[in-house]
Structure 1
Amino acid sequence: MSYASTLTTDPGSLIAPVDPSRRSAWAQLGTSVTGTGSAHEALVTAGLAGWNIRKVPMTGTEITPDGVTTFDNPEKVMLVRTDPATGASRYLSTVGKGYGVHQNEAGAAVLDTLVAESGARGTGYAGEIEGGRKTFVTIELPTTMYVDGVDALQLHLVVFNSHDGETAFRVMVVPFRPFCANQQNIAIRKHVSCVSIRHTSKSEINVEEIRSKLGLLYDYGTAFEAEAQRLIRTEMTNREFDDLIREVWPVKANASTRTLNNARRRSDLLTGLWTSAQTQANIRGTRWAAFQAVTEYLDHFTPAKNLDVRASRVLASEDLIKRKQNAYDLLAA
């Protein structure tokens, strides 16, 4: 199935963020692998190949006045990897003994299939987060959709592998608004946006299984465009936007002074994005603009130690994803 057949025609204009210094979370944390000839080459370029992830028995040592005692943990093992740049072994995580290891290279066939099936030119960015416990590779689908003819959206297939004992191998479709570099990773009722394979001792990354579900992921993209068009055609007042902020970030009346001050600063930033940000100029005063203001704040303005920390939250924070989902559900109701 060709995804290009399901979307609006791309007028052919080059789309860039309103702020040229702004980068997506993928670009902030990953390496550009555009132009690599294959998925394996992309993994090598990004330093994700040759990790040789393996299980190491887990032991603990107790030191007492009577001496040193070593204990084995029969239920857990450590995952370690080889750093391809230095050859050194590095700790990844602690997992159950029955955990199934998926080397990063195991997803290469999936990546090559996704590129071929979607008509994409190749992979975009590849990188790691949380010390290598999660890795990602992005594929930009070839056709840009224009919501109501005025607001550009791109769709990316993102392949996540994990080595943390908690997260499955996943292929996700993620809408992306290039004007503000916002990720719109939200769920739409009755539509599939993610295909997952859990890490069990007998699990395999089945290319054909994922390939068979690509149509469902593409259907999600079409449904997202329809929902976005409905939101962009629905006006919203300043008062309704204030109510949205209070719903997404509820603050108790008896909260501490620090909490109340943080809430006021957050509200001021969000209101500024809603009322005057250049990124909202073409959609101002709509529910779609309200959703973009919330996602822009979460992706680019939340307090963080540095840009890498904020970008890592965009890709991995459950709290951030839930806030985006909550905002969308309230606006789409």
Structure 2
Amino acid sequence: MTTDVNAAFAQEKTDQIEAVRSEARAFQERIDRGEIAPIGGDRYRVLTGWDEGETFTVRRNTEGRMEQILAQHGLDTTTGGAALYTTTPPWHGLGAVIPGGITDIDEVLKLARIDWEVSKRPVLYEWDDGIRDTADHYVTVRTDAGEALGTVGGRYEIFQNRRVFEFLHDLVQRYDAVWESAGALRGGRKVFVTMRIPHSIVIDRGGLDDEIVLYLAAINSHVGTSQAESVVTPWRIECGNTERFATRDAAHRWGIRHTKGGLSSLEEARRTLGLTLDYAKAFEAEENHLVRTDLLVDDFHKLIDNLWTVDEDATDRQKTSAQNRHNELDGMFRDQARKLGRTAYAAERTITDYLDHRMRVVPRNLSEDLARAQRSLEGTNDDLKSKAHRTLLLGTR
């Protein structure tokens, strides 16, 4: 069984589009089933599937009949076309598709419409005696179109689009890499690049045969409010949705601050991302150790108690919250065990699923969904995932 989230996502989008094109009744049935919901005017939100949370618009003719769906791909169209290069036709049918891919950076930059650079220009304001500039405040500007992207400080270091490609080259220590996709989102405020990791990972060959195709992606921001990052992910980025999913479902991530040394800590980045030349082989071996290691329910309880310790002087409310978490994780592990066996691998899948999708978040002025997304983007739970993996792996030895 090959886990290809990209194919499943593309099929989900195709199903949506075909439902609209074919018959209004089929579209209404999707609303009735709770798969999509109207959010005002001709706009709808997806409630289920691979692109849950995405919105789209239905265009109608003069008689009010549906004739076209306009999905929110989020790609930059500043230069007149969609800023995307990919090796595989995307669901939205946009961009330059090159089957088999290209290894030349400059050709991909051109095809992806991201062969432009960014400069810093002083923030200016008008006063009685003319135009003045603001000390230590700058605007990042596209040099091809003059579009302002964001506001940054004097220490902010611009990472040019080409440099992001070179960073991935340096990470994997190979310069014949085939680029899977590249492009820009939100008017060029975000730029992305992905390459496929050479070897798929197969968990439990001959048993589960769970094959995972992984990509290495770099996502660069030119707005000044977020860092760049590199992630190992099952998603090939080809639109705003898959950029979001790539960070949400990242197996490993490396945050890159926009400073002069931000792209130079290669050894630390390789360690964090697991990107040695034998990465896939080593990771597959570790996961297979977990698959072959039986784990008692009591041992799983010890694991979660070790991950989430409760102080002796904890309040009754804190103790109740801890017990609720314990019960929820116990139920999740038993569900995983029915599908995967009562193993260390099932335990790791349980912990990861809980941290990514089930653990309560404190929104602080954000909706819960936005707070969860922000936590995922910032890698808040990565330490807990790593600790769980190391603890379970020690049990296999």
Give the TM bin, normalised by the shorter chain: 0.5 to 0.7
Distance 1:146 1:77, change over 3 A: same
Query: Given the alignment, which residue of 290, 312, 331 partners 1:231?
Result: 290
Q: What is the TM-score when the length of structure 1 is the normalising length?
A: 0.61
Measure how far apart 1:246 and its partner are.
1.4
Q: Which residue of 2 aligns with 1:320?
A: 381
Q: Which residue of 1 aligns with 2:373?
A: 311
Q: Which residue of 2 aligns with 1:286?
A: 343
Written as runs of structure 1 = structure 2, the 5 A alignment for 1:23-62 is 23=50, 34=86, 35=88, 36=96, 39-40=108-109, 52=118, 54=120, 56=122
**Which digits, 9 at most, give the CA deviation of each residue in 1:8-59, with x for residues without a partner?**
xxx7x5645999845499x999869644456436865xxx886835254699
Write the letter of the residue equivalent to 1:52: V
Measure how far apart 1:170 and its partner are.
5.5
Measure how far apart 1:239 and its partner are.
1.0
Q: Is the 8 A contact 1:171 1:195 kept in 2?
A: yes
Q: Which residue of 2 aligns with 1:240?
A: 299
Distance 1:50 1:307, change over 3 A: farther
Distance 1:140 1:329, change over 3 A: same
> Is the partner of 1:158 in helix, strand or coil?
strand
Indicate yes or no: 2:198 matched with 1:145. Answer: no
Paired with 2:255 and 2:339, the residues of 1 have a C-alpha distance of 34
**Which digits, 9 at most, give the CA deviation of each residue in 1:149-199, with x for residues without a partner?**
1233222202143565995x66554578x9xx853328xxxxxxx697973
Q: Which residue of 1 aligns with 2:251?
A: 184
Query: Given the alignment, which residue of 248, 262, 265 partners 2:324?
Result: 265
Write the letter of the residue equivalent to 1:299: D
Distance 1:93 1:170, change over 3 A: same
Measure how far apart 1:281 and its partner are.
4.6
Write the letter of the residue equivalent to 2:203: V
The higher relative CO (CA closer than 8 Å, separation ≥ 6) is in: 1
Written as runs of structure 1 = structure 2, the 5 A alignment for 1:112-261 is 117-119=176-178, 122-123=180-181, 136-141=192-197, 143-149=199-205, 150=208, 151-161=210-220, 171-174=230-233, 182-185=249-252, 199-200=259-260, 217-261=276-320
Write the letter of the residue equivalent to 2:385: K
Write the letter of the residue equivalent to 2:343: T
> Is the partner of 1:218 in helix, strand or coil?
coil
Q: Unaligned regions of 5+ residues in structure 2, if any?
A: 13-47, 56-72, 76-83, 89-95, 99-106, 126-131, 236-244, 362-366
Indicate yes or no: 2:358 matched with 1:301. Answer: yes
Measure how far apart 1:253 and its partner are.
2.9
Paired with 1:42 and 1:262, the residues of 2 have a C-alpha distance of 52
Paired with 2:138 and 2:377, the residues of 1 have a C-alpha distance of 24
Paired with 2:230 and 2:342, the residues of 1 have a C-alpha distance of 34
Measure how far apart 1:228 and its partner are.
0.9
Distance 1:125 1:200, change over 3 A: closer
Q: Is the 8 A contact 2:123 2:133 kept in 1?
A: no
Distance 1:239 1:216, change over 3 A: closer
Written as runs of structure 1 = structure 2, the 5 A alignment for 1:72-91 is 77-78=137-138, 80=140, 89=148, 91=150
Distance 1:247 1:53, change over 3 A: farther
Query: Given the alignment, which residue of 155, 160, 170 partners 1:103?
Result: 160
> Is the partner of 1:101 in helix, strand or coil?
coil
**Structure of higher CA gyration radius:** 2
**Which digits, 9 at most, give the CA deviation of each residue in 1:224-271, with x for residues without a partner?**
111111111111111111111111122223223443333233223322
| RMSD (Å) for aligned C-alpha atoms | 5.0
> Is the partner of 2:313 in helix, strand or coil?
coil
Q: Is the 8 A contact 1:144 1:155 kept in 2?
A: yes
Paired with 2:369 and 2:167, the residues of 1 have a C-alpha distance of 30
Paired with 1:23 and 1:227, the residues of 2 have a C-alpha distance of 28
Q: Which residue of 2 aligns with 1:274?
A: 333
Write the letter of the residue equivalent to 2:118: N
Q: Which residue of 2 aligns with 1:189?
A: none
Q: Is the 8 A contact 2:233 2:249 kept in 1?
A: no
Distance 1:229 1:197, change over 3 A: same
Indicate yes or no: 2:391 matched with 1:330. Answer: yes
Q: Is the 8 A contact 1:55 1:79 kept in 2?
A: yes
Paired with 2:111 and 2:338, the residues of 1 have a C-alpha distance of 37
Percent sequence identity over aligned pairs: 23
> Is the partner of 1:285 in helix, strand or coil?
coil
Q: Unaligned regions of 5+ residues in structure 1, if any?
A: 1-10, 60-69, 187-193
Q: What is the TM-score when the length of structure 2 is the normalising length?
A: 0.52
Write the letter of the residue equivalent to 2:195: I
Paired with 1:123 and 1:141, the residues of 2 have a C-alpha distance of 13
Measure how far apart 1:322 and its partner are.
0.9
Q: Is the 8 A contact 1:24 1:182 kept in 2?
A: no
